[in-house]
Amino acid sequence: MLSTAVIMKIGLIIVGVMIMIMSFIFHAKRKLTVNLAVVWEFLGVALILIGAVPVFSSWCHLLARGTVIAMFVVGALALWGSYILCILISNLSMKNQELAMQVSLLNQENELMLKEIEKLKEDRENDR
């Protein structure tokens, strides 16, 4: 039977790998911006290092089995909620950037139309 510390270390490594894979997939599907994907990748690497390097995971021996289960449940819910919020923030950020580009193009088109109107007014005044 595996000890609680070994189960916790394996769990941390698995969660770290899952976070890295999900970040890569969501970034590839353009649901997560680059900066947020990089932050989640760093978090995944940190979890993998905590689970794999004995110096970082020496505290795992101090926890009881029930505490480990509670930590994983609460941690999973917190991570999932944070991940969903990051996806929503990324989505809004990308929409905001797209709208800013559209406004810029409309302003440029508006300036061209105003110049054309001024030119037509001058031509009309010169014809009189």
* CA 98/CA 18 separation, integer angstroms: 30
Q: What is the mean pLDDT of the chain?
A: 92
Q: What is the pLDDT of residues 15-52, one digit of tens each?
A: 999 999 999 999 999 899 999 999 999 999 999 999 99
* CA 68/CA 3 separation, integer angstroms: 11
* CA 50/CA 42 separation, integer angstroms: 12
Question: Is pTM, for the whole model, over 0.95?
Answer: no
CB neighbour list of residue 68: distance below 8 Å, 6 or more residues apart: 4, 7, 8, 11
Least-confidence region, from 57-71, 80-94, 105-119: 57-71
Q: What pLDDT shows up at residue 63?
A: 83
> What average pLDDT does range 92-102 have in this prediction?
96
Q: What is the pLDDT of residues 74-96, one digit of tens each?
A: 999 999 999 999 999 999 999 99
* CA 30/CA 25 separation, integer angstroms: 9
- The token duo for 42 is 């760093």
